[in-house]
Amino acid sequence: MRTVTWQASGPAVQLIDQRALPAELKTLALTTVEDVAEAIRDMAVRGAPAIGAAAAFGLALAGQTSTAASSEGLWEELQSSAGRLRLSRPTAANLGWALDRVLQAGRQRLPEGPAAVRAAVLAEAQRIADEDVQVNRAIGRYGAELLHDGATVIHHCNTGALATVDYGTALGVIRTAHEQGKRIHVLVDETRPRLQGTRLTAWELQQLGIPFEIITDGAAGHFLRRGDVAAVLVGADRVAGNGDVANKIGTYMLALAALDCQVPFYCAVPISTIDTRLASGAAIPIEERDASEVLELELSGLPIAPPGARARNPAFDVTPARLVTAWITERGVLRPPFAKSLATALEGSPPWASS
């Protein structure tokens, strides 16, 4: 079951509603662009690759449901819809990347009329989704080489099938190692405030039969310092051209603890998450979400803070490249200096091109 799929009848974008997990596995069928944008904003779908695929299908939905009779009219609608989807969340690089790919595919067919544009847009969205699964499998294969049998790893946030179209990035690495027969134990950062670790990663690991224990985000340093941990594995929402990593809030402190304890810190990241237009992490927009996520208890809505208390809620932080041991991509494991390794890795065909 994919996290994000196209549903021809409707038509609709079908999503697993990640807000309801682990209590309930339910899906949403979204029939308007605004519904897709709202699902991204409210984190019914989250994880940079999953957001990218959802936005791509959202744009395909705009094409399929448009009544425009001309290429020009359809193109205006697609651009307007892409603009609305682009604003839904600011940090994940895959959102803009996927929308640009879908728009580009449509534009090339404008001379052939609106039916051809609609078909091209939908086909490109589907291609993005299918490629994401291949990308994750490749990341998993490269990354699993870094994990030895019996390794305990710390994982932050959720980077599994739910954060992607299927399989996962950092969690895909763990999954591949597990499928190779290695015994991997995962310390799952709960990941405040939205508890993606406790709610989503724990649920996925349970489905996969991979042993794990949940810890508070602040406890990661304790376990690293005790020498129990072989590696730290995270994903990314956007990587700058110098290798600085924007990822779920708390990642920077986790990377510092890994370095202090001489434990490798790996960032599993599809090439689509790398934004080479940005010179460093300082240029990555950091979303600040509503204070209620901190002040109230997830799911229950119960207040935990005194009435009137205020909160700050940055959803991401930036981990400087100097703290990253390696970036695990579908083109191989990139070691510092990042820009040079990336350039080398991008030469030649992707690893699944012949498959």
Residue choice 131, 166, 190, 244 for contact with its own copies (CB under 8 A): 190
Our finding on whether 305 is near its own copies (CB under 8 A) is: yes
φ, ψ at 231 (rounded to 5°)? -165, 155
Sign of the C-alpha dihedral computed for residues 144, 146, 151 and 156 taken in this order: negative
Residue choice 256, 283, 339, 345 for contact with its own copies (CB under 8 A): 256
Q: Which of 305, 209, 316, 201 is nearest to 252 (CA)?
A: 316
- Residue 317 CA to its chain's centroid (Å): 15
Alpha-carbon torsion angle 337, 339, 342, 344, nearest 10: -80
CA distances from 349 to 175, 343, 355 (A): 25, 13, 11
User: Shortest gap between Cβ of 301 and its own copies (angstroms)?
Assistant: 10
Give me 294's structure tokens: 């901190």
Is residue 237 part of the annotated active site? The answer reads: yes
Q: Which of 101, 122, 107 is nearest to 74 (CA)?
A: 107
Our finding on whether 237 is near its own copies (CB under 8 A) is: no
Residue choice 115, 299, 343, 346 for contact with its own copies (CB under 8 A): 299
Which residues on neighbouring strands pair with residue 168, listed in sequence order? 160
Residue choice 10, 90, 218, 350 for contact with its own copies (CB under 8 A): 218
Q: Contact region for its own copies (CB under 8 A) — 54-62, 128-136, 242-250, 335-343?
A: 242-250
User: Shortest gap between Cβ of 317 and its own copies (angstroms)?
Assistant: 4
DSSP letters along 168-223, please?
BSHHHHHHHHHHTT---EEEEE--TTTTHIIIIIHHHHHHHT--EEEE-GGGHHHH
Q: Contact region for its own copies (CB under 8 A) — 56-64, 66-74, 168-176, 256-264?
A: 256-264
User: Shortest gap between Cβ of 341 and its own copies (angstroms)?
Assistant: 24
Our finding on whether 222 is near its own copies (CB under 8 A) is: yes
Our finding on whether 297 is near its own copies (CB under 8 A) is: yes
Residue choice 148, 225, 335, 340 for contact with its own copies (CB under 8 A): 225
Catalytic residue among 35, 166, 189, 237: 237
> Considering beta carbons, is residue 46 or 199 the nearer one to its own copies?
199
φ, ψ at 132 (rounded to 5°)? -60, -40
- Residues near its own copies (CB under 8 A): 22, 187, 190-193, 195, 198-199, 202-203, 206, 212-223, 225, 248-254, 256-257, 260, 286, 294-295, 297-300, 302, 304-306, 308-314, 317-318
Q: Which residues are catalytic?
A: 237
